[in-house]
Structures are given as structure tokens and as C-alpha cells.
Structure 1
Amino acid sequence: MAMDRFIRALIQWQTADRPAPARTLTVEQVRRRYAAHATRGRNGAAPPEVAKTADQQIDGGDGTFGVRTYLPATDRGRLVTYLHGGGWTVGDIDTHDPVCRRIASALGAAVVSVDYRRAPEHPHPGPLNDGIAAAEWADRAFPGRDHVIAGDSAGGALALGIALHRRDHGCAAFAAQLLVYPPADPSLLSESTRRYGTGYLSELDDLYWYYDQYLPDLESRTDPAIDLLNADLRGLPPTVIGTAEFDPLHDDGVELAARMAASGVDVQHIPAAGLVHGYLLMADLVPAAAAVTRDVLAAVERKLTSPPMAH
């Protein structure tokens, strides 16, 4: 499909701006740039309304980190623990505030957005462990709810890692999981990385840099929580995977969905024709991104309300 015209304009604007590769900047400079782009993507729109938000610190076992809780205007007894994207290195609960508000509103769910400690200060498994602790905290704070684990980009990989941890440690299973354009293959050798690795807002060289920050020990890249395509994917909760057409990580999501299906997981793949990596952050600026965001959340709704698929 042809690229969305709003996305094409964004790419032309960024090309004119000539952004420096991440590896030529300090981590703090990359973080500030990411936050500025996320804010600009809101186009001055008012954030989706929720009944209440609250920020607090929780114990991660080896220190504290933040969570932001959203209570929906219409509470349907759901719970979502959300892990933000940003290559495990950038992004935070503020950059993804509108995303979490949309989730709370669409699903009628309390949302716990995790401000996990980031690389390179906290490499793997630090962010993963914070996510595990946050999901456990959410269960205690909101007992008896259908609990969805969710995330976008690096946060999607963390969400799946948390689901694998729960399965392997005999913890209560999630009711569903949502993974939007997740990185699943640390080799970055897919066809989509070759085809869309330059000039589509998410640069392949930056993806390599993110992996270097999060996984400075190369041996750790074989960890099943990182090399997700080679993980044992059996016994996972009903899953929705969103991908973007013009995304270096497109093939990661497609292949992950196929391997989940082959492992007996109830999984639905929602493609985003014409869009790029990061479309959840563009919903206020790009109508097609808003539409696909609604589609992925509607798919999660179906996973929560439909009987389990037989395998």
C-alpha cells in the first residue's frame, strides 16, 4: 500500500531537519529529542479524558521506580500494565501518557504505566525486572480484575518477557497481552530491516545503538526474553500483535505472530498499512494511526470477551 500522506510529510520534515544518529549524541540528548518528537506528535490536542491519574514510587527489590495509574471514566473491571517504548533507553510515562489514556478509555481499564529504570544505567534484566515487579504490584493494587500486559516497541518485548516469566514461575496468567511493533530478533537481519532501515523515521543504526545500550553483554542476546523468536512460546495468554508496514521491525512482529500460532497461542495480527514504527504516538496527528490504534484495542477487547479458541 502507498505510504500515508501524513506520514510522508513527517518523513520529509525529519529529513529536512537532518537528525543526528543516536550514537553521535549523549544518552540525555537522545532522550530529550525523543520526548520533543513525542510532544510534537500530539499536535496540540487535548489528552483523552480519564477519571483520575496518580503518580507514585514502588519497590523494585533493588530500588524504587515510578508508576502512573489511570482510572477510566467508565470502569469495566479491567487492568492493564503498560510498558512504554523507546529502545529500553528513551521514552517514559510522559511520552506515552496519551497512549495510556486511550487504553483506559477504550477498555474501561485501570492502567498502570511503568516508568521502569532505563538502559544504559540499568541494562538487561533491570527494566524487565521492574516490569515484573510492577505487574505484581498492579495485581495487589487492583485485585480480581482481568489483567492485560501490554507495551509498544521495546515495551512490547518487555511485556512478552513478563508473560514468559509468569508462565515459567507458576504465577497467575494474564487475561491477554498486547504487543505493538515489538523487537523480537536482536540480530536485526530481517528483510524489513534491509528494506525500511533508512528513511522511515525509525533508523536501523539507531536500533543497533539501542540494543548496545540495553545489552552490552553480547551473550545476553540469546536470553529467551530477548531472542523472542527462539523462545518457547507455548502456554501464553491470548495475544494481539500490531505491526507497521514501513517499519524495520515489521518482520519481527509478523514472524512472532506466526510462531505463536504454531505454538498453540490464540493470536491475532493487526497490520498497519501505510504506517511506520511509533504510530501509537501519532494518533493525534495522523488519522490512519488513530484508526489502527482503535483496531488494536478493539482486538484486545475481543480477546477479553470471546471464549478461548480451541487448539
Structure 2
Amino acid sequence: MPLDPQFRSVIDQATAAGALPLVQATAQETRSHYRSLAVSRRGADFVPEPVAKVVDDAVDGPAGPVPVRVYTPTGDRGRVITYLHGGGWVVGDLDTHDPVCRRVANAVGATVVAVDYRLAPEHPYPAPLDDAMAALAWTADRYPGLPHVVAGDSAGASLAAGAALRARDGNGPALAAQLLVYPATDPSMSTPSMRDNGEGYFLTRADMAWFYDQYLPDRARRGEPHVDLLHAPDLAGLPPAVVATAEFDPLRDEGDAYAQRLRAAGVAVRHVPGPGLIHGYFAFLGVVAEADARSREVLAALDDLLP
């Protein structure tokens, strides 16, 4: 399919306004820029999707308190999700992903625990993953007996996949499923889509290279299975997965390939491609019609996996 015309307009407007590239001179400037983009894309008439309750709390993390935000859905069906936001392990927070967490909570009928994990470069790998594991344990303790999903988008999906591996190996709670929305799984950045979609579609190859340099300055660690997920030696026994990808995303092929590797390892997988869509489309809920529709399809696939 061609690029969705609404996304074509979004990219053209952002380019004309000087809002791209995503990465600015420093991590702090990039964070500020990303927050501005997150707010501006919601539009002047934006109204948050209603949920039953939102409460800020904190998890006892390995290096101190980790802020979390707990969303109670309007129709609770007895599930819980630990959600890890995207942003290249460098940017993003509870506010940038607030609309996404509201949609996830209501669509799946699940309490969502959104995690404000530590960010690189101040806190490189494995600090964000360690915080994610602390949040998983906290969620499991707070909501015992409920089907528990680890979820995330982009870098957050990479953390979710890494957390699922750790949990499987006895270092975390039992998980009912994993939701991986356009995950980063290949630090080598060597797939065809990284080349073909590496310019002109919001997230660029240069952005990803910079993000990896912040998160994994020690290049020797880029081959560890919780990072180089696409080449992790053993994926058997992982929880069922929903993997969503986008056609014009540099990360498309590594997400597709990870879904295939999970399936080959005997993991139940629902793979939801995104024809005509770009990386980050979950952030355009209520703004781009096809992003809104595909997000509901992705969350319906997760709903189907859960009791």
C-alpha cells in the first residue's frame, strides 16, 4: 500500500515546521522536543479517553522509587498489564503515553500499570530493564491471580520482550501474554526495512543509531539476548505474543522476523501488520483514522489471547 495520506500530511507538516528529525543535539533537548511533539499531535480539541480512575504511585526499584501510573478501565474484566513506553530508551514518560495507556486499559478491560523507568544515557542498559522487572513484580504482587501481560511500544516493546525472557527464566512473575508494538529487536540495524524506510518516515535510521549509542554505549553488550532479541538462542516457553508492525517503519522487518522466530519456537503468536502506517502510529489515536482502526485490531488480538 502507499503511505496513508493522513500520515503523509503529518510528515510533510512536521518537516515544514522543522519538527523533524526527532533527535536533537542532546538527550535533554530531545526529551523536550519529543514531549512537545506528543502534546501537539493531540490537537487543540483533544479530550483524554475516559477511564474509571487514574492514580500515581511508585515502585521500589533497584536504585530507588520508580514512578508508575495506574489506570482502572471503565469495564474491568479482571486483567492487568504492565506497560513500558517507547522513546528509544532515552525519551518518553507517563504523560507522553497517557492516551495510549487509556486506550489499552479500556480496549482490553485491564488495569494498566504504566512505568516511568530510568532513561539513558544517564542510566544505560540494563537499568531500564531492571526497573521494568521491578514493576512487573510490583504489579504481580498488587494484583495476584489476574492474567498479567507485559506490554510496550518501540523501545518499550524491546524492554517488554526482554522482561518476558527474564521472567521465563525464573527472574520474574508468570505472564499470560506479551504485547509488542513495533519492537526493536536487532541492534545491528541490518534489515532491508532499516535501509528502505530509514529516511522520510518520521523515525529514521540515524535516530535509531543515536538511541542505541545512548542505551548501549558498551557495544560488547549489544549481543546479549535481552537486547539482541532477534538472535536470542532460545525463545521456547515464552508467553503468547501479539506483535504489531508498520509498513513504513525502519523496524518493520525485525518485528516481522521476531514474530516468526517466536512462532518457530512454539509460541502462540498473533502478528498484526500495519499497511500504510509509520512507526509510532499508536501515538496518533483519534488523529489518523487508520492508526486508530489498526490499534483497535491489535488490542482485539490481545483480548482474544486472554481468559
Q: TM-score range by the shorter chain?
A: over 0.9
Q: How many residues align?
A: 305
| 1:61 CA displacement | 2.1
The aligned counterpart of 2:249 is 247
The aligned counterpart of 1:213 is 214
Q: 2:88 matched to 1:87?
A: yes
Secondary structure of the structure 1 residue equivalent to 2:237:
coil
Q: 2:13 matched to 1:4?
A: no
Relative to structure 1, is the Cα distance of residues 54 and 36 closer, same or farther in structure 2, using a 3 angstrom cutoff?
A: same
The aligned counterpart of 2:139 is 138
Secondary structure of the structure 2 residue equivalent to 1:102:
helix
Contact 2:115–2:135 (8 Å) recurs in 1 = yes
The aligned counterpart of 1:308 is none
The aligned counterpart of 2:76 is 75
Give the distance between the partners of 1:112 and 1:171, measured in 2 at CA: 16
Give the distance between the partners of 1:242 and 1:50, measured in 2 at CA: 24
* Structure 1 residue runs of 4 or more that deviate by more than 6 Å after TM superposition: none
Out of 118-127 and 49-58, give the one that drifted further: 49-58
Q: 2:208 matched to 1:233?
A: no
The aligned counterpart of 2:115 is 114
Q: 2:204 matched to 1:203?
A: yes
Letter in 1 for 2:177: A
Secondary structure of the structure 2 residue equivalent to 1:140:
helix
The aligned counterpart of 2:284 is 282
| 1:172 CA displacement | 3.7
Letter in 2 for 1:258: Q
TM-score after normalising by structure 1: 0.95
Secondary structure of the structure 2 residue equivalent to 1:121:
coil
Relative to structure 1, is the Cα distance of residues 20 and 241 closer, same or farther in structure 2, using a 3 angstrom cutoff?
A: closer
The aligned counterpart of 2:301 is 299
TM-score after normalising by structure 2: 0.97
| Structure 1 spans left out of the alignment, 5+ residues | 306-311
| Structure 2 spans left out of the alignment, 5+ residues | none
Give the distance between the partners of 1:255 and 1:98, measured in 2 at CA: 28
| 1:140 CA displacement | 1.1
Contact 1:41–1:284 (8 Å) recurs in 2 = no
Could you give the per-residue CA deviations for residues 127-161 of structure 1, whole angstroms, max 9, x where no partner exists? Answer: 00000000100111111111011000000000011
Give the distance between the partners of 2:228 and 2:295, measured in 1 at CA: 26
- Aligned pairs (5 A) from 1:25-174: 25-43=25-43, 44-169=45-170, 171-174=172-175
Secondary structure of the structure 1 residue equivalent to 2:300:
helix
Contact 1:21–1:205 (8 Å) recurs in 2 = no
Letter in 1 for 2:195: R
| 1:74 CA displacement | 1.4
| 1:83 CA displacement | 0.2
Give the distance between the partners of 2:20 and 2:76, measured in 1 at CA: 44
Contact 1:68–1:114 (8 Å) recurs in 2 = yes
| 1:121 CA displacement | 0.7
Contact 1:22–1:209 (8 Å) recurs in 2 = no
Secondary structure of the structure 2 residue equivalent to 1:276:
coil
- Alignment RMSD, CA only? 1.2
Give the distance between the partners of 1:90 and 1:205, measured in 2 at CA: 16
